[in-house]
Structure 1
Amino acid sequence: MKSNLFFREVVVGPRKWSNILWASILLICTIGFLITGLSSYFNNNNLFFQIFFFVKQDDVILFEPQGLLMCFYGIAGFFVSIYLWSMLLWNVGSGYNEFDRQKGILCLFRWGFPGKNRRIRIYCFLEDIKSIRIKTQKNVFSPYNVYLQFKNQQSIPLNQMENFGDLQQMENKAAEIAHFLQVPIQDV
C-alpha cells in the first residue's frame, strides 16, 4: 500500500515452496535413518532402507557403528525438522515495514516464536534515517541485504535478496524506499 505520505511493504516469511520441500525431504530422510538404525539394532532387514538407498537384500547393517550412527543422525535430523516445521507453522520472520511521513514514524513489525514477545515492533523517527544501504558481498551464497542506516551508525535490515527475484528488482525496491524517504542510497 503506497501513497505520498504512507508506504507499507509486506515482508514474506519462511512460507515458501522451497522451504516446505526441504523440510519435507529432511523429515522423510531422518525417519528413514531412524528406522534403519533401529532395525539394525533388532536384527531386522528393513524394506525402507533397501528401497530408498538401493541396498541389496544380502547386505547387513551392523548396529555398531553404522546403525548407532544412523540412529544419531535420525534423531538429530528429526529435531532440526521439527524446528523447520515450527518456523513454517508460526511464519517466523514475516511482517511488514511501515513508513508514515505524516507522523514521521517508521514501524518495523515481525512475527517471532510464540511467547510473550511473539509480536516484534520497532518504532523509529524518519528524521533519524541517514540512508538506505545495500550490502553486497562477493560470496555467491551470501544474500544481498537492504538496510536502513541511521545517523547514529546503527543499521536495521529491511529485506534479504531471497525475498526478491533478482538483484535488479532489489535495487529498484531500495530506490523506491529511498525516494519515498528522500534519503540517498549507499552501496557497501
Structure 2
Amino acid sequence: MAAQTTSSSESLVLRQPVLGARRFSNYFWATVVSVGATGFFLASISSYTKTNFLPFSDPTQLVFVPQGLVMGFYGTAGLLLATYLWLTISWDLGGGYNEFNKEKGEVKIFRWGFPGKNRKVEVDLKTSDVQAVKVTLREGVNPRRSLYLKVKGMRDIPLTRVGQPMTLAELENEAAGLAKFLSVPLEGL
C-alpha cells in the first residue's frame, strides 16, 4: 500500500490505494484451479462416453463408476471454485482507497464489496474525530500486521489490505507517516 499525495495542494491530501483481489497470486491460483478442474471434468466425460477429450492421456480406460464419477465430482467442485475465484477478481473485492484530506477536514475509506445494494463500502469521517493511528502485530504461524484508525465513538477502522502481511519496516513507515500527516499519536509500536 504505497502512499501518495494528490491534488494541487500536495501536502493537504493523502490518498493510499488498497490492493484488493486483483493480485498476482489470485490470478495464478484461479488459473491453476481452472485448468485442473477442466482436466478432471473432461476425464470424467471421457470415461463415460469412451471418447478421449484429453490430448495428454487416455481416460477412456477408466471405469465410470466409481473412478469417472469421482473425477466428475472433483471437476465440478473445482469449476465452481474457479468461477468464484474469477468473479472475486473481476469484482476486485477489497480493493479501494484511503483518502485523508486536511483541506476539507475529511477522511474517506472506500472498498469494493460483493455485488448488491451494499457493493460500495464507504466510511466518511472528520479528521477531528480521529484519535490515533494504531498498529497491531501478531507473529507466529499466521502473522498479522495491521494498521487501524482509532475514531471517537466507533470501532477501530482497518486501513491495510487483507492477505499477505506488510513487512515490519513498511508498516512502521506507513503508520508513522500517517500519524504525522493527521497530527495524531501512534499506538502499538
TM-score interval, normalised by the smaller of the two chains: 0.7 to 0.9
TM-score of the two chains, using structure 1 as the length reference: 0.81
Q: 120-129 vs 28-37, which deviates more?
A: 120-129
Other-structure match for 2:179? 178
Q: Quick one: distance in 2 between partners of 1:99 and 1:58?
A: 59
What residue ranges of structure 1 are gaps of 5+ in the alignment? 51-56
Report the Cα offset of residue 59 of structure 1.
9.6
Amino acid of the residue matched to residue 87 of structure 2?
A: S
Q: 60-69 vs 22-31, which deviates more?
A: 60-69
Aligned length in residues: 182
Other-structure match for 1:128? 129
Alpha-carbon RMSD: 2.7
Matched, 1:68 2:69: yes
Contact preservation (8 Å) 1:109, 1:121 = yes
Other-structure match for 2:158? 157
TM-score of the two chains, using structure 2 as the length reference: 0.81
Q: 58-67 vs 100-109, which deviates more?
A: 58-67
Report the Cα offset of residue 158 of structure 1.
0.7
Report the Cα offset of residue 45 of structure 1.
5.3
Matched, 1:83 2:84: yes
Report the Cα offset of residue 48 of structure 1.
4.9
Matched, 1:27 2:34: yes
Contact preservation (8 Å) 1:33, 1:71 = yes
Report the Cα offset of residue 20 of structure 1.
1.0
Contact preservation (8 Å) 2:136, 2:146 = yes
Give secondary structure in 2 for the equivalent of 1:29: helix
Amino acid of the residue matched to residue 73 of structure 1?
A: Y
Given the superposition, is the C-alpha separation of residues 6 and 163 from structure 1 closer, same or farther in structure 2, using an over 3 Å criterion?
farther
Other-structure match for 2:95? 94
Q: Quick one: distance in 1 between partners of 2:31 and 2:163?
A: 20
How many percent identity over aligned positions? 37
Give secondary structure in 2 for the equivalent of 1:34: helix
Given the superposition, is the C-alpha separation of residues 122 and 44 from structure 1 closer, same or farther in structure 2, using an over 3 Å criterion?
same
Q: Quick one: distance in 1 between partners of 2:86 and 2:39?
A: 18
Cα deviation digits, residues 95-115 of structure 1 (max 9, x gap): 111112232221111223334
